[in-house]
Every structure is written in C-alpha cells, then in structure tokens.
Chain A
Amino acid sequence: MKTGMKKSITFLAKNLIRLVLLLLCASILAFLLVSLSPVDPLQVNVGQAALGSLSREQIKKLETYWGVNDPPVKRYLAWAKDFIRGDMGVSLLYRQDVSSVIGQKLAHSLLLMGSAWLISGIVGFSLGIIAGANRGSFIDRIIRGYALLTASTPAFWIALLFLLIFAVWFRIFPIGLSVPIGVEEGFITLTDRLRHAILPAAVLSITGISNIVLHTREKMIDVMESEYVLFALARGENKRSVVFRHGLRNVLIPAITLQFASIGEIFGGSVLVEQVFSYPGLGQAAVSAGLGGDIPLLMGITVISTAIVFTGNFTANLLYGIIDPRIRRGAEK
C-alpha cells in the first residue's frame, strides 16, 4: 500500500517538473521569436498615416508603452517574475488584465473546441472501427476516401465552403458570430447559441476526423489479423462480438493517445475557422497579440495553450493506467 502511494506521488511530481520545464521552454521560445520579429508595434497598432502625425515626444511615449527599446532579457525576466506570482500582466492592446481577456475568449473557444473534439473523437473512432473491421469492402473504401480527402483540405477552405452552402445559399445557419446580430443579451436563447456554434464546430470536427479514422483503421486491421482473433473466429465467435470484445479494447489505447494529442491540432485549426465565422475566440486574440506586438497577452496565451495541450497528453497517460491493467502492473513492478 505504501509503495503504491509513493509510486503515485513520484509519478505526479515527475510530471509536474516536466510541466514546469515545458512552460519555461515554450515561453522562452515564444519570447525569442517575438523579439526577433521585425514587426514594429507602433507601425501595426498606430498605423503608418497616424504615426506620421505624431510628434517626436509622443512617439517616445509610445515606444516606452510598447517596450520597443527595452532589452529582451530584462523584459523576459520581468514578465517571468510577475507570472510566477500569478500576475499575468496587462494586455497592451486590450488594456485589461491578461487573465480576464484570456478568460473571456477561452470561454467562447471552449464550447467550440470541446464539441469539435468530442465529435471528431466519437465519429472518427466509430468510422475507423467500421472501416478496419470490414477491410476492403465498399464501406471501407468510402470511409477511407472521405478521410483522405478531408486530410488534405485546409480547414479554412472547408469553412468558407460551408459558409457559402449553408449560410448563403440555403440560409439554414447564420453567417457567423456566436450570438444573433443585433439581439440584446436577454433575448438570446440557448438554441441561438447552439445554432451559431454548429457550423464552426462541424468544420473543426471534419478536419480533425481524418487522422483518427485512418489510424484507428490501421490498428483495427492489425488486431483483426492477430492470432487470438483468428483463434476466436475459428472457435465460431461471430465477427461482431469479436470486434466488440477483443478489437475495441486493443484499439482503445492508440485511439486515446490520438484523441488527446489532437487537442493541440484543434487549437491550431480553430484560429482560421474562427476568423471565417467571426467567432470570438482565443485564436483571434493570439493572432492580434502576435502581429500587434502585445507581449503580455501573447505570452499568456502561449503558456495557457501549452498547459492545456500538456494536460491533454498527461490525461492520456493517466488513462492508460486505468484502462490497461498491464501498464498499471508494469509500473508497479
């Protein structure tokens, strides 16, 4: 019992250290890139024509505000020092606490990314199983073809296509935003919010599906060709029960790895999808922060997204132990 506890604590501690190191590296890298970029925050945020009207005195004031002339190492250390104490700083663009900006944007994104993640996981997994179990059949070819097609199409192109078909031609869904245009807060219903989230979520799911389908299919094929399945089939078990009782368990682990790893992909895909549907989310904030030289906000978003992706992978790790007793026992040995 004691060794079990000790093992768990070491496990958690090790991962915590990994997380800290990862955040450190990610933040340093992000900061390095921003410092090296030729983007001039004054040029981007004030604009060339307005910049031309400012006096030298005002330009100096601006340069101080955007930290243009501060040495990068000093800036990074100042940011890191505040961050450790829990202060993410104030966004230069939004003039609000970085934590509140990220909080607002993340709330919107979570609905979108969460539903896309679930849908792509469930649908992708099911399609992969069906394709793998019926290898070579007509339905397998359809599923495979569909997966390969969506694997190569860019998310924003699908987004524009959906927008065109469903919002402009057929007018079933709204053309964008997360709430109806011109409607006051009190009159917005849950149905409205869901309606506005359907197209972007569908687009994000579609682009995430192909990976999971193809990989699950491969694993399923491996399983179906294994000796124990051959043995079970020879003993007279029907295919369906073989798939459910033997196939699923073995395919589950690689599927979970993929599913949690795809969190990062969904994060990235959401940026362009949000832009097409004018959906307010973290992706857009990241782009504005990056292009506009808003370092506190950009660093905040980098750290939060890194932490989310890490948590995803860590959860996958944990789930292995729960799902597969062999891994648990292997760790205990």
Chain B
Amino acid sequence: MKKSFSIIFIVILLSAVLNGCNQKVSSDLPVEKDSVIVVMGPTSEPVAGFDPAYGWGAGEHVHEPLIQSTLTTTTRDLEIAYDLATSISVSEDGLVWTVGIRNDVYFTDGEKLTAHDVAFTYNTVKSESTINDLTMLEKAEAVDDTTVKFYMKKPYSIWPYTMAIIGIVPEHAYSPDYGQNPIGSGRYVLKQWDKGQQIILEANPYYYGKEILMKKVTIVFMDEAAAYAAVKAGQVDLAYTSASYSDKAIDGYSLLGVETVDNRGISLPTIPYNGETGNDVTCDLAIRKAINMGIDRQKMIDNVLNGHGTPAFSVCDKMPWFNEDTTVEYDFDGAVALLDEAGWIPGDDGIRTRNGIRAKINIMYPASDSVRQALAAETANQLKALGIEATIEGVGWDVAYNRAQREPMIWGWGTHTPLELYNLYHTVPETGLARYVPYANKTVDSYMDQALSTMDLETSYNLWKKAQWDGTTGTAGDSAWVWLVNINHLYWVKDNLNVAEQKLHPHGQGWSIVNNVDQWSWK
C-alpha cells in the first residue's frame, strides 16, 4: 500500500515538472516593436480606480487620463487646445460656459459619447470627488446631444485648464465600481490590472484622433531601488529615477532629463513678529531682495541636483502666464550693497545686525525630504557669505504650516494652472494676509481677481503677469517667496526608444511622462 502510494506520488511530481519544462516560459515571447514597458513609483498607481471622480488625472500630479477623453488638452507650451470640444464660449459675466462637443466619438462599448455624458461626468465629479475641486461649478447641463453648458458660481477664467484633466465617463455604464473596469473613449483601453504590480493598456481601435503608434503600454509600479534593478537587468524600456542614480552608466540605456515646473522655493514672512506670526529679520524688504539676488542658483543646481535642474524665479516659470521680467541675475555685490544701504552692518563674526536685531533665520524643511534638506543646507551656506546666519531644521507637516507663519520654510510647488499664483499670493478674507506666509499687496490682489474674471485667456495671462510685476510693484518685487530651482525629472530610457517631446512636467514624477505615449516609437 505504502509502496504504490509513493510510486503514484513520484509519477505525479515528475509529470508536473516535465510539463513545466516543456511549456514555453512566457518571458520567451518575442518582443513586439509597438509595445513599451514603463516603470513608475508605487504612489502613481490609482488604487481607488481609473475614475475621474476619485482623482484619476488630477491631484498633485496632473496628467492626461489616457483611458478617457477630455474636453480640452494642454499643449507643449501649456496653452489650451481642443480635444472633445469643438467650440468654447463664455457669457459676458463669466458665469456660463458653453462648449460644443464632437459628434463622432464612441465609447469602447459602442455607445456614442454625447453632451449628456459630459454633464453627467462633471456633476458626478463635483459631488463625489475629493481631489478634484469643482466648488466653483454650480452645475453642468446638456442642452442637446452636442452642447453642454457649465454654470459657475463665480467667474473663473482658467476653467479650460480644469477641463483638460477631467476624463469623460459614460453615463450608461457608470457605478461606484467604474474605476475597476473603466469604459472610456480615450486613446487606450485598460486590458489588465494586476493590483499593486502592473497595468496593461492597449490602443483603442475606435479612437477618433491621431493614429496611435504605440499599441501596447505596460506600466509597472516599483520603488526606486527595484526600478534601478529592473533597468540594469534590461527588463524594462523606461524607468523613473532620481539624481542619486544619475551618475551611473547603464549599457543600452541613456539618461533623459525632462524640464519641469516642479519647483522648490523658500517662504519669507513679510511682517514683523507680533507674538504669533511674522519674523523680525525677513520683514525687511532689503533682506528678502538680497536673498533673491544673492543666491547662486546654478551653483545650487550643480551641488544639490548634480546639474539636473533649472533656476526658478517664480512658481510658474516658462508657463504662458510667467512674467519673464522677473528673472534675476545672480548679483552678490548688489545684494551686499542692498544690505549695507539698509543699515545691516556686519559684526566681527561676519553676521549683520541692525538696531540690535541679528540677521539670523531658521530655515525649515519637511523632515522626510532629503532634497529639500540639501537645498536648505546649501541656502544656509550661501547666505553666510552675505552675512546672514541661517540654521536649518527638519519639521513634520503637523507643525510646518503653523510655524511657516513665523519662520522661513522650503516648499515644493508647480502645476499647470495659474491658480497656484492665486493660492500663494492672494490674501484670504480671514486674516487679510496670504495663506501660507504673512504677505499682503492690494495691487497684486486686484490684478489676480481681474485675471480670474477676464474671460479671454490671452488677456488674463497678461493680468497674471502684471500681478508678478507691473513696473512698480508685484509679487516678484515683494519677494515673499524666493524661488530657487526647478527640478528636472530623470528617466532611464532604452537606447532605441523614441520618447515624444515632453511638455513641462508638473510637481512630482508619475504619469506625465506617458502623456503622449501614443506618439512614441522604436527606431
């Protein structure tokens, strides 16, 4: 009995092993020339699903929601182009937007995309969403199959930028579980989702727009070290990486640096210390201007980012609403002269004092971020030469917001709408000062309010620029924020992969790189 049992066992084991040996292991399958494998960080996986209502396409790292179509898109220069929309007009008072929709678009389940789907999408996103902020929208209404009206609560000139990241979902096929099996009209169809690991996208055969060159896109989610290992093993085609890996050389791959608006800047309180907010050193305009002028941004990029970055002079460098007059030349002597004139006299230890106040500041940075820590240290180093003593301190986010009202802090910003300018510099009604650092300038406020209510985008760009500098005053003149660098996003790319030209990436590394993956090709 025992003997026959063991014989049967051995036979079963052997057949399983032999069977496994004969079967072609799937990694032996031939590599297709119209497919690509991209590695992103684990936080890029939309764990809540591919649902615009749950933030797909939106949030900190805005990107095109490949599976769905959007009404507008942003071009390489961050101007607005039409995607689903055929016409956009807005009423005199800025409260009603009328958008015409194409009538030749079909979802991948064969149903036609109409204005009713658009209205449904926006109303759902407004009520459900947590990351997409549609509080300025009253409601969306489909007038007929190809026209939709958006009723706003207040004038909002940058509405086209919001329209560029909200993917349109089918009303007839929507449920809270939509994100798990999304049906869209975009360039790609979700073929497979191995949760926590990879996503396989396939080209949409019914797509209405430009021909899709890359037929199959596999996105793999790995942390930085594993991504690096994957590149070294040659198993992926493009992988994100950071400055710390940038000096390696890998056979068959080259390093791609993409310019971004992913900036780092330091906030400086502009009012004297009143017990709760304000800072007695940075409240002096001369100090703030000297810091802006006296920091060698290129040196900072070379030291901290290994050269992978560009100097930043605003929160929106290179965007259509950036005022180029606000760029500053590195002028150490000019900064010194400014400080001398303002009465900051250097003492025996080289540190300046004025009226008994020592030029000493404490620069905070988020404790978990090593790049911001390095930037803080580099800033402190450079300020010493100017005669300003700076200590650095890592803080947690639970106290950072509060303390930033009193002490300088290194922040990271950068997105594809001018709304950020508004949020950083505009005063809030509760305090009469800006939200993140005590600062107020009525002229700046009024320019920005006008910009939001001016419906012509070109005119509004000019108003945003005026808010930065109109010849006499502006955010650049007040230097409540001194912008340091724009960090380049780095990627390892296989040698014969042609990555299509990238638009400026926003804050954070993620889906931006594959915004135009449909135009990538193999040489």
Q: Please list the residues of chain A having a beta carbon within 8 angstroms of any beta carbon in chain B.
A: 38-40, 43, 46-50, 52-55, 57-58, 61-62, 65, 93-96, 104-105, 108, 160, 163-164, 167-168, 171, 174-185, 187-192, 194-195, 275-281, 284-285, 288
Contact = CB atoms under 8 A, between A and B. Distances in A.
11 contacts: A47-B60, A50-B58, A52-B436, A58-B135, A105-B196, A177-B194, A178-B197, A182-B218, A185-B192, A189-B25, A189-B26
Contacts of A40: 397-398
Nearest to A187: B26
Nearest to A63: B130
Given A276-B226, A280-B194, A53 B423 contact: yes
Contact of B60 (A46, A276, A284): A46
Interface string B356-382: 000000000010000000000000000
A300 B396 CA distance: 27
Contacts, number: 165
A191 B415 contact: no
A95 B216 CA distance: 28
A183 B26 contact: yes
A183 B29 contact: yes
A180 B27 CA distance: 7
Contacts of B23: 189, 191
A104 B417 contact: no
B130 A53 contact: no
A35 to B, nearest CB: 13
Contact of A181 (B37, B176, B225, B413): B37
Interface string B123-150: 0000000110101100000000000000
Contacts of B413: 49, 52
B454 to A, nearest CB: 20
B226 A175 contact: yes
Interface residues of B, number: 68
Contact of A49 (B130, B226, B508): B508
B200 A182 contact: yes
A95 B47 CA distance: 8
A243 to B, nearest CB: 23
A10 B382 CA distance: 74
A181 B235 contact: yes
Contact of A168 (B198, B229, B508): B229
B48 interface: yes
Given A65-B130, A182-B198, A95 B229 contact: no
Interface in B393-433: 396-399, 411-415, 417, 419-420, 423-424
Contacts of B232: 168
A55 B131 contact: no
A188 B25 CA distance: 8
B31 to A, nearest CB: 9
B320 interface: no
A62 B130 contact: yes
A179 B196 CA distance: 11
Given A48-B397, A49-B60, A62-B130, A171 B233 contact: yes
Given A58-B133, A181-B235, A278-B221, 5 more contacts: A62-B130, A175-B229, A177-B220, A189-B20, A191-B23
Contacts of B48: 93-95
Contacts of A53: 133, 415, 417, 419-420, 423
A37 B400 CA distance: 15
A176 B29 contact: no
B226 A163 contact: yes
Contacts of B27: 174, 180, 183, 192
Nearest to B51: A95
Sorted from nearest, which 10 A-B pairs have the closest CB atoms? A280-B196, A47-B60, A38-B398, A182-B218, A50-B60, A58-B133, A95-B48, A191-B20, A57-B135, A49-B507
A95 B233 contact: no
Contact of B414 (A46, A49, A195): A49
B397 A43 contact: yes
B346 interface: no
A194 B136 CA distance: 52
A62 B130 CA distance: 6
Nearest to B127: A61
Contacts of B435: 52
Contacts of B54: 95
A188 B229 contact: no
A190 B29 CA distance: 16
Contacts of B59: 46-47, 50
Interface string B17-50: 0001001011101000001010000100001110
B60 A278 contact: no
B217 to A, nearest CB: 9
